[in-house]
Chains A and B, each alone.
Chain A
Amino acid sequence: MGALTGATFRPGTGADAIDGVLPRQVVEPDSAREVAAVLEQAARERLTVVLRGGGTKIGWGRPPAALDLVVGLRRLNRLIAHAHADLTVAVEAGATVAEVNAALAGHSQWLHLDAPEGATSGGVIATIDSGPLRNRYGTPRDLLIGVQLATT
């Protein structure tokens, strides 16, 4: 599968196991375009795919019945734009909340989210993972104003 998309595929190792199930392959694209290409090809080949950000919630839900491909998104971690005067930031979904907040700190701004260490902004949005800050600031869903998606 690797040749067509340009991304490097490798076999799954113990560290990639989800609830004890080893993926046949793992790929870590480094651009949105590459993610789309991987998903498109996986769909054509009818592979079961799991998306992985920081892996902080990868154990939620039942163990996967089949696991052909894990798509790791941590390499998609660029800050695209911080319009500090507009109070908005555009980031790639693989950036962790901590990484985003480090970048925002320069203008004394932050994403007011409780996120487990290593949780990605994409993962937090996918799961609406929230904590005590929610009482004052609302959930991740309330912070999201726009999104770019790669679909199968």
Chain B
Amino acid sequence: MELMTYECDALPYVREEPAVVVLPGSAADVQAVVRLCARHGVPFVARGHGTGLSGGAVPVPGGVVIGLSRLNRVLDVDIPNRRVTVEPGVTNLEITRQVAPFGYYYAPDPSSQQVCSIGGNIAENSGGAHCLKYGFTVHHVLALDAVLPDGEMVHLESAVDDAVGPDLVGLIVGSEGTLAVVTRAVVRILRKPESVRTLLAAFDSIGAAGTAVSEIIAAGIIPAAVEMMDALAIQAAEASVHPGFPAADAVLIVELDGPSAELEELFPLIERTCQRTGAVSVEIARDEAQRARIWKGRKAAFAAMGHVSPNYYVQDGVVPRTKLPEVLNRIRQLEARCGLRIANVFHAGDGNLHPLICYDERVPGQARQAAEAGGEILSYCIEAGGSITGEHGVGMDKREFMPKMFTDEDLDAMLRVRDAIDPRRLCNPGKVFPTPRLCGEVPGPYREHPIEKAGMGERF
């Protein structure tokens, strides 16, 4: 019964029962577990707090789940050097809480930051609404301790911190748990900006909102965040958390942060740009409470879909920002064709799109239809020169799209790296890359062929 908690992450329709779940209490424990798995050829999956949206933490049948929630200590807070050392089970927001009294914060801010773990953030290279200006997890990890699939413990330093040699930290971050189990991370913290100003602008079309964003970027301004929501997403947010958003076709949330003098100069430009491109209303947050209300409306957007639809499926794709209007048009046409409503929330500054596909699982076939619509939207993203994932990862959910985005040579190069580090495919196998089903090749504990046992051959 207890194993059921570990059957899936936040992608609920893929579940597998693990053979064993282990909850190590220390890095040494983690290493011992991985060594044991390596000795017996048993596959394992590292798991943070289970908030992943691509099935990256789904267990391998017959395999081990290594749950890292007990490794939740903040080991060191070094304010003068702007670094915090944490175990992987520490939540994203906890890092900020530790340094907030000193006027600092940890920048990558996924919407799940109250719950998600830094280890999970590292696996997925998580971003968040402020990634336009501040980058992703990979830009904020200075060093890692990790256990490799053969049980070896390594300490890696990042190019962010001027380390020499190949950027192995950059390799691990975003590898979705397929190369190592991170047991410790050193992350960098930033000084809280002197000022923050946020506005909410309503437009009568996505196109007009998109033009506003383009003009802001063209003016050389990089806002801390630029978020867009369409009519259905606005409706859902209003119904659920009542942020007081106007009933418009599109809203834009633009936030600037930085030195007060800089904001004095730039914020009026943002305001004027929104007005010039046809904003029907512009609301500027007067105080922290109003700013929090505006962000609540945006951050609750996914969960809010539950108020307008029995079920919904979140997709995650990226398009070059200038292609957003074109891709959104195609999504509208798809909506009309398949009869499922699709709300759109996106990081308009960098083109990361989150279509929320509404369906009712009680209607036969609708769940599958929603998944197919999600897949079709990914193909629009690829065709527009974008990517199949902005932040949620490939995991299990999008493996079959990898060959649509990459050539065989590209995938081969990536697999060579993976196989160099995990030749026996024990470390979160079956994720990210589509696995061809050759005869006899099934996921599960590694079964050594008699020829390999006899030392006469190797499996590649």
Chain A residues within CB distance 8 Å of chain B: 83-88, 108-109, 128, 130, 134, 138-139, 141-142, 149, 151
Contact = CB atoms under 8 A, between A and B. Distances in A.
12 contacts: A83-B322, A84-B218, A85-B218, A85-B322, A86-B321, A87-B217, A109-B220, A128-B159, A138-B160, A139-B159, A142-B135, A149-B413
A141 B167 contact: yes
Interface string B200-236: 0000000000000010011010000000000000000
Bin the interface of chain B by size: 10 to 19
B170 interface: yes
A108 B162 CA distance: 28
A101 to B, nearest CB: 15
Secondary structure at chain B's binding surface: helix, strand, loop or mixed? helix
Given A83-B322, A85-B321, A141 B217 contact: no
Nearest to A81: B385
Contacts of B220: 108-109
B131 to A, nearest CB: 12
Nearest to A141: B159
B144 to A, nearest CB: 15
B125 to A, nearest CB: 12
A143 to B, nearest CB: 10
Given A85-B217, A151-B413, A139 B321 contact: no
Interface of B: 135, 139, 159-160, 162, 167, 170, 214, 217-218, 220, 320-322, 351, 413
Contacts of B139: 138, 142
B160 A86 contact: no
A-B interface, 4 closest residue pairs, ranked by CB to CB distance from nearest = A141-B159, A86-B320, A85-B322, A128-B159
Contacts of A128: 159, 162, 167
Contacts of A141: 159-160, 167, 170
B9 to A, nearest CB: 27
Nearest to A149: B413
Nearest to A87: B217
A88 B322 CA distance: 11
Contact of A142 (B160, B217, B320, B351): B160
Contact of A139 (B160, B218, B320): B160
Nearest to A84: B218
Contacts of B322: 83, 85-86
A12 to B, nearest CB: 28
Contacts of B159: 128, 139, 141
Nearest to B215: A85
A83 B351 CA distance: 13
A141 B136 CA distance: 13
Nearest to A83: B320
A139 B169 CA distance: 14
A85 B167 contact: no
Contacts of A151: 413
A151 B413 CA distance: 9
A135 to B, nearest CB: 11
A9 B117 CA distance: 55
Contacts of A142: 135, 139, 160
Contacts of A139: 159-160, 162
A59 to B, nearest CB: 16
A83 B217 CA distance: 12
A130 to B, nearest CB: 7
A141 B161 CA distance: 11
Contacts of B162: 128, 130, 134, 139
A61 to B, nearest CB: 10
A139 B160 CA distance: 6
Contacts of B167: 128, 141
A107 to B, nearest CB: 8
Contacts of B214: 85
Contacts of B218: 84-85
Nearest to B169: A141
A108 B219 CA distance: 9
Nearest to B163: A128
A92 B167 CA distance: 22
